[in-house]
């Protein structure tokens, strides 16, 4: 925490928008940015109190917080929230696409609406928010950073998570295309791919990951949201200025385990979500 963030070359304060920052990883990212002196635009879907709490933590660190409700199931209209936040903060230098949702249903049993909803929130939403943010960054002419929170499922599949895996892999590919297209504007685009992190999404809100043994993960435990936020914060620093189109896996070594874990499984329970 407290990682120095990129200095605006014209001396104005930096502004970041973090979608899905009412809880979990997004909240940790918002607080990490604020502790580096960055004003933060916060979005929530259902948890207005969570967003208010994030805003309070951000303001306690001496920077501005702006809050909006964002429903990425309601596109393309909802993406206008990025414009609103940019206007309230006086611009946007960093966008973190962190909002996300998933499923636990096998593909053959999945209804189309569920498939579409996950694609809408996890992929279409990130596309439209990135497009809006990039337009502001290009117009301001000062470069910028777009950081997409994907998942280890950007790189490897999981039973029951067809739309999530398709969306996160798609977001990884979108990251690389945007990195190519926005480089001429000095905008870098990278993804951060977490493994299991203790957040509401994994049923571990306020759980200390060090108390949760995970023998199948090389580092032996889930990750803390702050451990993902630290990598996101680094990607927004001047030190990361030459990094673009990359995917940073933050998973305690989980993705390395494929072949070895396969050899250790003694039953077929993995076939069910």
Judge if the upstream peptide bond of residue 76 is cis by omega within 30 degrees of 0. yes
Maximum C-alpha span of the chain? 60
Q: How far is the CB of 271 from ligand NAD (least distance, A)?
A: 21
Is 248 one of the binding residues for ligand NAD (CB under 6 A)? no
Contact by Cβ (8 Å): 224, 209: yes
Helices of type H across 151-255: 162-182, 225-235
Q: How far is the CB of 252 from ligand NAD (least distance, A)?
A: 11
Which of 3, 35, 103, 151 forms a contact with ligand NAD (CB under 6 A)?
A: 151
Q: Which of 33, 44, 127, 164 is catalytic?
A: 164
Contact by Cβ (8 Å): 252, 219: yes
88: tokens are 């309230």
Residue 46 parent element (H or E): none
Residue closer to ligand NAD, measured from CB, 72 or 179: 72
Q: What is the dihedral of CA 171, 176, 181, 186, to 10 degrees?
A: 110
Contact window for ligand NAD (CB under 6 A) among 3-11, 137-145, 198-206, 260-268: 198-206
Is 22 one of the binding residues for ligand NAD (CB under 6 A)? yes
Is 29 one of the binding residues for ligand NAD (CB under 6 A)? no
242 among known catalytic residues? no
By CB under 6 A, how many residues form the interface with ligand NAD? 26
Q: How far is the CB of 11 from ligand NAD (least distance, A)?
A: 32
Outline where DSSP puts E strands in 80-125.
94-97
**Cα–Cα distance list, 124 to 76, 129, 218, 227 (Å):** 8, 9, 33, 26
* String of contacts with ligand NAD for each residue 55-94, x by CB under 6 A: ---------------xxxx---------------------
DSSP string, 20-43: T-SSHHHHHHHHHHHHTT-EEEEE
Q: How far is the CB of 9 from ligand NAD (least distance, A)?
A: 30
Residue closer to ligand NAD, measured from CB, 82 or 197: 197
Residue closer to ligand NAD, measured from CB, 163 or 194: 194
Residue carrying structure tokens 């910028």 = 144
For 208, phi and psi rounded to 5 degrees? -80, 115
Residue carrying structure tokens 């926005």 = 182
Q: How far is the CB of 28 from ligand NAD (least distance, A)?
A: 8
Is 196 one of the binding residues for ligand NAD (CB under 6 A)? yes
98-127 residues near ligand NAD, rule: CB under 6 A: 98-101, 121
Q: How far is the CB of 236 from ligand NAD (least distance, A)?
A: 17
The residues that touch ligand NAD, with contacts defined as CB under 6 A, are 20, 22-26, 44-45, 70-73, 98-101, 121, 149, 151, 194, 196-197, 199-202
* Active site residue ranges: 164
């Amino acid at each position: 925490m407290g990682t120095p963030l990129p200095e605006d070359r014209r001396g104005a304060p930096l502004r970041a928008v973090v979608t899905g920052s009412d809880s979990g990883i997004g909240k940790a990212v918002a607080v990490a940015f604020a502790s580096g002196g960055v004003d933060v635009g916060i979005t929530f879907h259902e948890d207005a109190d969570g967003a208010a709490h994030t805003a309070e933590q951000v303001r306690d660190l001496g920077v501005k917080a702006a809050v909006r409700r964002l429903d990425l199931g309601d596109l393309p209209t909802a993406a206008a929230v990025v414009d609103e936040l940019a206007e309230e903060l006086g611009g946007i230098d960093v966008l973190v696409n962190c909002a996300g949702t998933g499923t636990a249903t096998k593909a053959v049993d999945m209804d189309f609406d569920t498939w579409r909803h996950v694609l809408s929130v996890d992929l279409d939403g990130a596309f439209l928010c990135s497009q809006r943010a990039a337009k502001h960054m290009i117009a301001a002419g000062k470069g910028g950073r777009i950081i997409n929170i994907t998942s280890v499922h950007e790189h490897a599949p999981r039973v029951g998570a067809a739309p999530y895996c398709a969306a996160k892999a798609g977001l990884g590919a979108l990251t690389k295309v945007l990195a190519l297209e926005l480089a001429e504007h000095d905008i870098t685009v990278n993804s951060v791919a977490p493994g299991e992190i203790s957040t509401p999404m994994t049923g571990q809100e306020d759980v200390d990951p060090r108390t949760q043994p995970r023998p199948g993960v090389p580092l032996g435990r889930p990750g803390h949201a702050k451990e993902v936020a630290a990598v996101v914060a680094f990607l927004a620093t001047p030190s990361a200025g030459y990094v673009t189109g990359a995917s940073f896996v933050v998973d305690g070594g989980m993705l390395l385990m494929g072949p070895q874990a396969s050899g250790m499984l003694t039953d077929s329970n993995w076939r069910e979500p």
